[in-house]
A and B are shown apart, each in its own frame.
Chain A
Amino acid sequence: MTLVTDRQQLAYVAAQAADARVNIELETEGMTLNIGPQHPATHGTLRIITRLDGEQVVWADPVPGYMHRGYEKLVEVRSYPQVTTLVNRIDWLGSFANEVPFILAAEQLMGIEAPPRAQWIRTILFELARIANVSLFLGDMGVQLGALTPVFYAFRDREFVLNQIESATGGRFHPNYDRIGGLKEDLPKGWIDETRAVMGKMRGFCDEMEELLLGNEIFEARTRGIGVIPADVALSYGLSGANLRASGVDWDLRRDQQLPMAWSQVDWKVWTHPDGDSFARYWVRLQETREATLIVEQLLDGLPAGSIMAKVPRIIKVPAGEAWVSTENPLGEMGYYIVSKGDTGPFRVKIRSASFNNISIVPWLLQGVYVPDVITILASLYFILGDIDR
Chain B
Amino acid sequence: MSLLSSTPDSETGPVADDRRVGLLAEITAGLGDAVAATHLIPGKDLWVRVNTADWLTAGRFARDALGCAYFCFLSAIDWLPSPFGKGEDDPTEPPPERSTAIEQGFTGGATRFQLIARTVSLQRHVGITWKVDVPDDLVEVESWVKVYAGADWHERECWEMFGISFAGHPGLRKLYLPGGFEGHPMRKDFPLLARLVKPWPGIVDVEPLPVGADDGGEAE
A and B are partners in one complex rather than unrelated chains: yes
Q: Is the CB of A77 within 8 A of B195?
A: yes
Chain A contacts with B in 43-74, Cβ cutoff 8 A: 64-65, 68, 70, 72-74
Q: Does B25 contact A (CB under 8 A)?
A: no
Given A111-B8, A357-B150: A350 and B105 interface contact (C-beta under 8 Å): no
Q: Is the CB of A323 within 8 A of B44?
A: yes
Q: Is the CB of A360 within 8 A of B69?
A: no
Write the nearest CB–CB distance from B19 to chain A, whole angstroms: 11
Write the nearest CB–CB distance from A325 to chain B, whole angstroms: 9
Q: Is the CB of B118 within 8 A of A68?
A: no
Q: Does B198 contact A (CB under 8 A)?
A: no
Given A77-B87, A264-B1, A264-B2: A335 and B152 interface contact (C-beta under 8 Å): no
Q: Does B24 contact A (CB under 8 A)?
A: no
Q: Does B148 contact A (CB under 8 A)?
A: yes
Interface string of B114-158 (1 = CB under 8 A from A): 001010001001000100000000000000000011101110000
Contacts of A160 in B (CB 8 A): none
Determine the distance from Cα of A320 to Cα of B176 in the docked complex, in whole angstroms: 31
Q: Does A259 contact B (CB under 8 A)?
A: yes
Contacts of A361 in B (CB 8 A): 150
Stretch at the interface among A15-23, A187-195, A228-236, A271-279: A228-236
Chain A contacts with B in 204-262, Cβ cutoff 8 A: 232-233, 235-238, 249, 251, 255-261
Please pick, from B1, B6, B153, B176, the residue contacting A360 in the complex, using a CB distance under 8 A: B153
Contacts of A282 in B (CB 8 A): none
Determine the distance from Cα of A255 to Cα of B4 in the docked complex, in whole angstroms: 12
Write the nearest CB–CB distance from A279 to chain B, whole angstroms: 24
Q: Is the CB of A72 within 8 A of B186?
A: yes
Determine the distance from Cα of A249 to Cα of B106 in the docked complex, in whole angstroms: 32
Counting chain B residues whose Cβ lies within 8 A of the other chain, the interface size class is 35 or more
Counting chain A residues whose Cβ lies within 8 A of the other chain, the interface size class is 35 or more
The closest CB in chain A to the CB of B85 belongs to A77
Determine the distance from Cα of A7 to Cα of B8 in the docked complex, in whole angstroms: 87
Q: Is the CB of B86 within 8 A of A345?
A: yes
The closest CB in chain A to the CB of B45 belongs to A324
Q: Does A339 contact B (CB under 8 A)?
A: yes
Given A77-B87, A389-B176: A236 and B77 interface contact (C-beta under 8 Å): no
Q: Is the CB of A322 within 8 A of B8?
A: no
Q: Does A153 contact B (CB under 8 A)?
A: no
The closest CB in chain B to the CB of A111 belongs to B8
Please pick, from B1, B116, B175, the residue contacting A65 in the complex, using a CB distance under 8 A: B175
Please pick, from A235, A259, A322, the residue contacting B70 in the complex, using a CB distance under 8 A: A235
Chain A contacts with B in 63-109, Cβ cutoff 8 A: 64-65, 68, 70, 72-74, 76-78, 108
Given A73-B192, A76-B192: A258 and B77 interface contact (C-beta under 8 Å): no
Determine the distance from Cα of A356 to Cα of B175 in the docked complex, in whole angstroms: 11
Q: Does A373 contact B (CB under 8 A)?
A: no
Determine the distance from Cα of A249 to Cα of B121 in the docked complex, in whole angstroms: 12
Contacts of A119 in B (CB 8 A): 6
Interface string of B39-69 (1 = CB under 8 A from A): 0000111010000000000000000000001
Contacts of A267 in B (CB 8 A): 1
The closest CB in chain B to the CB of A116 belongs to B6
Given A68-B176, A237-B149: A113 and B7 interface contact (C-beta under 8 Å): yes
Determine the distance from Cα of A58 to Cα of B153 in the docked complex, in whole angstroms: 20
Determine the distance from Cα of A339 to Cα of B76 in the docked complex, in whole angstroms: 11
Please pick, from A233, A320, A321, A350, the residue contacting B75 in the complex, using a CB distance under 8 A: A350
Chain B interface mostly helix, strand, loop or mixed? loop
Write the nearest CB–CB distance from A293 to chain B, whole angstroms: 19
Contacts of A108 in B (CB 8 A): 8, 44
Determine the distance from Cα of A261 to Cα of B116 in the docked complex, in whole angstroms: 27
Q: Is the CB of A337 within 8 A of B185?
A: no
Contacts of B73 in A (CB 8 A): 238, 335, 337, 350, 352, 357
Q: Is the CB of A337 within 8 A of B75?
A: yes
Determine the distance from Cα of A119 to Cα of B7 in the docked complex, in whole angstroms: 12
Contacts of A258 in B (CB 8 A): 2, 4, 6, 13, 16, 43
Determine the distance from Cα of A264 to Cα of B161 in the docked complex, in whole angstroms: 39
Please pick, from B70, B129, B175, B192, the residue contacting A324 in the complex, using a CB distance under 8 A: B129
Return 20 A-B CB contacts under 8 Å, by A number: A65-B176, A73-B186, A78-B86, A113-B6, A113-B8, A235-B70, A238-B71, A238-B148, A258-B6, A260-B6, A260-B7, A264-B6, A321-B105, A322-B105, A323-B45, A335-B72, A337-B116, A339-B77, A348-B78, A360-B150
Q: Which residues of A are in contact with B by a Cβ distance under 8 Å?
A: 64-65, 68, 70, 72-74, 76-78, 108, 111, 113, 119, 232-233, 235-238, 249, 251, 255-261, 264, 267, 320-324, 326, 333, 335, 337, 339, 341, 345, 348, 350, 352, 356-357, 360-361, 364, 389
Q: Which residues of B are in contact with A by a Cβ distance under 8 Å?
A: 1-2, 4, 6-8, 13, 16, 43-45, 47, 69-73, 75, 77-78, 82, 86-88, 103, 105-106, 116, 118, 122, 125, 129, 148-150, 152-154, 161, 174-178, 185-186, 192, 195
Given contacts A77-B88, A113-B8, A356-B153, 8 further A-B contacts (CB under 8 A): A65-B178, A73-B185, A77-B195, A235-B70, A237-B150, A256-B122, A258-B43, A264-B4
